[in-house]
Structure 1
Amino acid sequence: TVLAVEDKIEYGAYVGLDVHKDTIAVAVAESGRGEPLYEGEIANNPYKVFKLVERLYKRYGGQVLLWCYEAGPCGYVLYHQLMELGEECHVVAPSKTPRKPGDRIKTDRRDALILARQLRSGDLTAVWVPDSDQEAMRDLTRTRDDFKAQEHKARQQLNAFVLRHGY
């Protein structure tokens, strides 16, 4: 789904998040054409996220905010947390995020600013976010597949060992 402004919802601000295990870089693009502002980094924990939502909610007078971050190894915990707080959030595909050809320098600050700007302009592609049950089943299936691959490799190594020793 391309996140175009087809919904015609006017958001108070567009929040781009660059999420890592321990920190989240935050940038906010207000409605209109102004440059996004870098808000800084917060710790990646539920309390700090709640305080950020509270702070931005007050700053924008209770207007609806649109949040986004790139899909990655941190999963969908932040998505579910923001949704539980009543916020609208999209997880976007990093491979479909438009990048300028010379834009090779990646920093958390720059990534958050780019996400906020592109979210406001509707240039991002959202990914499907599984609910908790679907995510648990996906994790279980992937773990099983990993163990089956390890078992296969161990079996091959054992067979090679036996063959090398003449059995």
Structure 2
Amino acid sequence: MIVQGTSVGLDVHARSVVAHAIDEDSGMVIRETLVPDAATIVSWLQGLAPPVRLAYEAGPTGFGLARAITAAGMECVVAAPSKLQRPAGDRVKTDARDAAHL
């Protein structure tokens, strides 16, 4: 049995968080800019189709968000930016593209 759900990529910064989510059942894509508050982000994630699995780039904001997401029962991976593969020729870097890539 295949378990559907929602896959989410977050581009986390001190002033904003850009989220890019895809509902694996319907294919619907959701893009949202959120405030960098763990409770607000977790609340938004809980409104998505479960199970929710997400990733975000490691950075200066630390792992507090990952701990809050995991404590809420969601799978969260913090990825090293240097280890993420980029398509050849992908030189444009924006928060929305980073979130979609994750």
1:45 corresponds to which residue? 37
**1:71–1:93 Cα contact (<8 Å) kept:** yes
Q: Greater helix percent: which structure?
A: 1
The one-character-per-residue Cα deviations of 1:4-61 (angstroms, maximum 9, x if unpaired) are xxxx9734011000000121100012327x5x724220000123113212321xxx1x
The structure 1 segments of at least 4 consecutive aligned residues displaced by more than 2 Å after TM superposition are 8-11, 29-32
Q: Which runs of 5+ in 2 are unaligned?
A: none
Aligned length: 102
Paired residue secondary structure (2:60): coil
The one-character-per-residue Cα deviations of 1:96-141 (angstroms, maximum 9, x if unpaired) are 11101211111111111111xxxxxxxxxxxxxxxxxxxxxxxxxx
**1:38–1:113 Cα contact (<8 Å) kept:** no
2:53 corresponds to which residue? 66
1:98 corresponds to 2:85 = yes
Instruction: Tell which has more relative contact order, 1 or 2 (C-alpha 8 A, sep 6+).
Output: 2
1:24 corresponds, among 17, 39, 42, to 17
Paired residue secondary structure (1:83): helix
Pairwise mapping of residues 17-166 of structure 1 onto structure 2 (< 5 A)? 17-31=10-24, 34=27, 37-56=29-48, 60=49, 63-115=50-102
State the alpha-carbon separation in 2 of the partners of residues 66 and 12 from structure 1. Answer: 8
State the alpha-carbon separation in 1 of the partners of residues 2 and 16 from structure 2. Answer: 30
Q: Which runs of 5+ in 1 are unaligned?
A: 1-7, 116-167
AA paired with 1:13?
A: T
State the alpha-carbon separation in 2 of the partners of residues 31 and 50 from structure 1. Answer: 19
Q: Greater strand percent: which structure?
A: 2
Alignment TM-score, normalising by the size of structure 1:
0.55
Q: Which has the larger radius of gyration?
A: 1
**1:11–1:66 Cα contact (<8 Å) kept:** no
Paired residue secondary structure (2:33): strand
% identity of equivalent residues = 36
**2:45–2:52 Cα contact (<8 Å) kept:** no
Alignment TM-score, normalising by the size of structure 2:
0.86
State the alpha-carbon separation in 2 of the partners of residues 46 and 69 from structure 1. Answer: 13
